[in-house]
Structure 1
Amino acid sequence: MFNIEKLVRQNIRQMKPYSSARDEFKGTATVFIDANENNIGSLAGNNYNRYPDPHQKKLKSRLAKIKGVEPEQIFLGNGSDEAIDLLLRLVCRPGQDALLQLPPTYGMYEVSANLNEVRIDTVQLTADFQIPVEEVLRQLKPETKIVFICSPNNPTGNSINPESIEAILDAFDGLVVVDEAYIDFAHNPSWTTRLQEFPNLVVMQTLSKAWGMAGLRLGMAFASAEIITYLDKIKPPYNINEATQELALAALEKSEELKFMVEEIVQERELLTHALPRLKSVLKVYPSDANFLLVKVTDANGLYNYLLGNGIVVRNRSSLKGCEGCLRISVGTLEENQQLLQSIEEFR
């Protein structure tokens, strides 16, 4: 039986979180001289002289309606990377506990683990980039506190079979984090719809991909209110700045436009999926539910450098086990994709 109280590190259970000036204030007021701000004003000519809402109430309220969850089930971070880091700090004791990841996958799980002195256990995805569930279950140890599953997966682009994720959720007493940075490009439903079923489930999303706001650095984590309370306890007090909160709210008011942008990206993705295999240098294009394609080519290093010489930057993933000979190519605009195809066709 999953118990977040037992999973959370003892020192975090006992610690008293930082209390900001605005946390201690209740009611209404017209004079704010509690937070050592510059009350004369801001060089930007707006309210940026004031500290932002440390709890992002307006933004969480709007997100809750869009995502179909409660505001208390939302954590907002400075990119998904902050959520990854805080989740590891929450349940993993440095030098004692471990995470389990499923390569090839997103590299920040490993970076954050190394930073926090958390052991990294790995189970390689299968040839079609799916989870070998029985092997994962065998690798889960008492010191394993968290499993990261990226779906749709980066860098492979495919969605992970939901039955595999469900099997791990049912069998594991630690946190199972499903990273859905690319979920808006996929046809399968988000795991946020199943938070009530699995108290150990954490779902991560972002405004960086489908929403086209990578420069804001706004990541989201969805989980039980109990897990979110602990994440809020250990986060920096003002981790989401005022400008990010304002711009995110403005973007969310245009959420109806999201589907048209996603449809255009998916259409371009399908055009590339069919056009790339016709080129001599391309051996295989892997199925994708994301806004990029993993492409196996005859000479990954040579093609990568050739494209770079033509002013086209892709990602060389050929050094990753399971992605040998592969480039990861983001879906661009129609003009950018045509330029890419022409350059690959001219490569010898």
Structure 2
Amino acid sequence: MQKFVRPNILALQPYISFRDTLSDGDYTLLDANENPFGTFNRYPDSTQKKLKQKLSEIKNVPSSQIALGNGSDELIDLIIKIFCEPKKDAIVVMNPSFAMYSFYATINENKIVTLDLDSNFQLQKDEFLNKTKDSKAKVLFLCSPNNPTGNSIDDLEFYIKNFNGIVVVDEAYIEFSNQKSIVEKLNEFENLIVLQTLSKARALAGLRIGMALSSEFIISLINKTKAPYNISEVNMRTALQELEKVDEYEKRLQEVLIQKNILKQAFENSSSIKKVYNSEANFFLVEVDNCEAFYEDLIQAKILCSKRFPAIPNALRINVGSAEENQKLIKILS
């Protein structure tokens, strides 16, 4: 794996908080120029030990194979910086897919190789092999279930095996899907990074906590490249409390799935909506006759959805809300 890493990153000396290397003890803390007064006067644990241990139990992955980011966005940015030389290397993305992969590559001055999805929003294997063969691409981003289309990508293992570089599978919506997580293949593929988040099914978007799951080597690169205190003490503490509420999490997840079925039926019965694409996430991509007018009508009704046109003709992305929110939308549709 070292051949894929930028030499300056391999040689990078990480910032280490000596305090976080010590075992728990009653130390007088005069090392970090902190204010001795206040509720949040101390820096958070830069290694995020407690939160990683809890996530390790949930994901059945060793904590040494988990890195945490200020949202998955920070992890995407770090992955590109670790593996891609500016003005030299490229990343590979699906089209349409999550925009932030290309966003951070552009900031880092990397080229972007685009793989257009077919009419079923699937990758075409021949095009993938042809476009990546001599592209100088170092990182392939696969979003599954994909945003904004909602479908899972078929045969992920084919792309992991046939890409000469790092493969990032973004599973932000995996809890809503019937598909198995590719996390179970981590020990089989040393070039695999799986991104997951607490923002979606865990309903903790305001905490901005994303996670990368990979080999110990790749995780060590992310940990030494990230900002030392990238997740606040308040956010870590709150996440730990919320992760203990297993029954509440499962109840909420089931409610979202129930409301998803109600919304799907309403969309299919609506004369305003021409097509409802299959979704394994907590949203639907829908096709309507006059997208701009449809969107403006929803705005007038104080309902926000996501414009996906003109990139996807006549398409809007609408996520599943609460029962009250969904009924408001269904009333407007009728």
Pair in the same fold by TM > 0.5: yes
In the alignment, which residue of structure 2 is the partner of 1:253?
A: 244
Give the partner amino acid of 2:120.
Answer: D
**1:66 to partner: Cα distance:** 0.4
Give the partner amino acid of 2:331.
Answer: Q
Contact 2:123–2:153, Cα closer than 8 Å, also in 1: yes
CA deviation vs aligned residue, 1:183-217 (integer Å, no higher than 9, x gap): 01001111111101111110001111011111000
1:30 aligns with 2:22: no
The verdict on how the C-alpha distance between 1:240 and 1:185 changes in structure 2, with shifts beyond 3 A counting, is same
5+ long unaligned stretches in structure 2: none
RMSD over aligned Cα atoms: 1.2
The verdict on how the C-alpha distance between 1:310 and 1:142 changes in structure 2, with shifts beyond 3 A counting, is closer
d(CA) in 1 for partners of 2:23 and 2:68? 23
**1:338 to partner: Cα distance:** 1.2
In the alignment, which residue of structure 2 is the partner of 1:55?
A: 47
1:152 aligns with 2:149: no
Task: Give the 3-state SS of the residue equivalent to 1:153 in structure 2.
Answer: coil
Task: Give the 3-state SS of the residue equivalent to 1:102 in structure 2.
Answer: strand
d(CA) in 1 for partners of 2:57 and 2:21? 28
Match of 1:340 among 319, 322, 329: 329
In the alignment, which residue of structure 2 is the partner of 1:197?
A: 188
1:117 aligns with 2:114: no
**1:255 to partner: Cα distance:** 2.6
Q: Which aligned runs of 4 or more in structure 1 are off by greater than 4 angstroms?
A: 23-27
d(CA) in 1 for partners of 2:117 and 2:326? 29
Match of 1:167 among 158, 169, 181: 158
Kindly tell me the number of residue pairs found equivalent between the two proteins.
333
In the alignment, which residue of structure 2 is the partner of 1:239?
A: 230
Task: Give the 3-state SS of the residue equivalent to 1:147 in structure 2.
Answer: strand
In the alignment, which residue of structure 2 is the partner of 1:273?
A: 264
In the alignment, which residue of structure 2 is the partner of 1:106?
A: 98
d(CA) in 2 for partners of 1:330 and 1:26? 45
Contact 2:90–2:135, Cα closer than 8 Å, also in 1: no
Most deviating of 182-191 and 85-94: 182-191
Task: Give the 3-state SS of the residue equivalent to 1:96 in structure 2.
Answer: coil
The verdict on how the C-alpha distance between 1:24 and 1:203 changes in structure 2, with shifts beyond 3 A counting, is closer
d(CA) in 2 for partners of 1:13 and 1:268? 48
d(CA) in 2 for partners of 1:61 and 1:18? 22
5+ long unaligned stretches in structure 1: none
d(CA) in 2 for partners of 1:23 and 1:181? 29
Give the partner amino acid of 1:14.
Answer: A
**1:30 to partner: Cα distance:** 2.5
**1:339 to partner: Cα distance:** 1.0
1:292 aligns with 2:289: no
Contact 2:94–2:142, Cα closer than 8 Å, also in 1: yes
Contact 1:292–1:328, Cα closer than 8 Å, also in 2: yes
TM-score (norm 1): 0.93
TM-score (norm 2): 0.97
Contact 1:303–1:344, Cα closer than 8 Å, also in 2: no
Give the partner amino acid of 1:305.
Answer: E
CA deviation vs aligned residue, 1:51-99 (integer Å, no higher than 9, x gap): 0000000000010010010000101000000000000000000000000
**1:333 to partner: Cα distance:** 1.0
d(CA) in 1 for partners of 2:119 and 2:93? 16
